[in-house]
Amino acid sequence: MPRYAYVNGRYLPHAQAAVHIEDRGYQFADGVYEVVPVFKGALVDEGPHLDRLERSLRELRIDMPVARATLKLISRELMRRNDLTQGMLYLQVTRGVAPRDHKFPAQATPALVMTTRQTKPHSEALLNQGVKVIAVPDIRWERCDIKSISLLPNVLAKQQATEAGAYEAWQIDGEGYVTEGSSTNAWIVSAEGKVVTRDASHAILSGITRLSLLKLIREAGFEVEERAFTLEEAKTAREAFLTSSSSFVLPIVAIDETPVGNGHPGILSGKLRARYLDYMADLGADLGAGTGAGADLEGGTGAGAGIEGAA
């Protein structure tokens, strides 16, 4: 079946889809993007993703390329054409095409590209094993809250992680605090048993998975601390995990080769992953979905199963 991409008003075979060589995204990384997960045929948290897209565009003074309702229609048509059931929708908006000049062009029409990708869920083996992360200095700019397509530091960090046999690189700010991964948000379960993730600021991308998981944890009656934590605290944490639209919730078992907790995926991390999968399945419930993962945040026993000290 041919795979389609959407480029500025047209659905084109993916292999032939292209943009102009003077697109400002190509020349200046002058644009933004979104990755929306698709689970059981449904877009997950489409509203918050589009809110973030609009915010990123506003911050860079780029107009929405089409109305939000039109964006939704295009997404659905592309998913239908590509028979997308599980994977992701990628949206990119740039300031448009103009002769190369740093300042904003007097007139440019924002360019819109959308693609989809079918992916397989993480293997049971990976989930049972957990993943490793390495620490790298955070060399990014001071507006990491904007989901800009300018991703060179992130690319370099991920490559360094890959070469070290790790899944992700946790970026460390000048004061020794973890900001976030190269394409994921960073979490720990502290020595006191509290779930901790960095507060939303210009220093991190406010992940949509992060927001939904925060809500789910609070709904379950647990306390979460949104605050910065150091690399040292992370290395002595009970558990660590990461979140993103493509990884969902993934347990971390080592940071820079230092085992986290007992070196196995944390019990709470596993429960939060199951809870998040249920949440995604519920969103697609009108399509007859349901994982039956049966996550029960409160039902765990054993070390680290609950969040001790939580309200």
Q: What residues line the site for ligand PDD (CB under 6 A)?
A: 35, 154, 180, 183-185, 205, 207-210, 243-246
Of the candidates 40, 132, 147, 194, the residue annotated as catalytic is: 147
Min dist. Cβ of residue 308 to ligand PDD (A): 27
Which 8-state DSSP code applies to residue 148? B
Q: Which is nearer to ligand PDD, 56 or 184 (CB)?
A: 184
Active-site annotation holds for 147: yes
Q: Which is nearer to ligand PDD, 87 or 304 (CB)?
A: 87
Q: Which is nearer to ligand PDD, 180 or 239 (CB)?
A: 180
Min dist. Cβ of residue 144 to ligand PDD (A): 7
Residue spans of alpha helices (H) in 190-263: 208-219, 231-235
Min dist. Cβ of residue 85 to ligand PDD (A): 19
Min dist. Cβ of residue 307 to ligand PDD (A): 21
CA distance 220 to 173: 32
Q: Which residues face 221 on adjacent strands?
A: none
Q: Which is nearer to ligand PDD, 31 or 193 (CB)?
A: 31
What ranges make up the beta strands (E) of the chain?
A: 4-7, 10-13, 31-39, 42-43, 87-94, 111-118, 131-137, 168-172, 178-181, 185-189, 195-197, 224-226, 239-244, 248-255, 258-259
300 CB-near residues (< 8 Å, 6+ apart): 267, 268, 271, 306
Q: Which is nearer to ligand PDD, 97 or 255 (CB)?
A: 255
DSSP string of 181-200?
ESSSEEEEE-TTS-EEEPPP
Min dist. Cβ of residue 44 to ligand PDD (A): 10
CA distance 181 to 168: 6
Contact of 187 with 169, CB cutoff 8 Å: no
Nearest to 64 by CA among 44, 106, 43, 34: 34
Longest CA span, the chain: 63
Min dist. Cβ of residue 246 to ligand PDD (A): 5
CA distance 273 to 241: 10
Q: Which is nearer to ligand PDD, 246 or 291 (CB)?
A: 246
Active site residues: 147
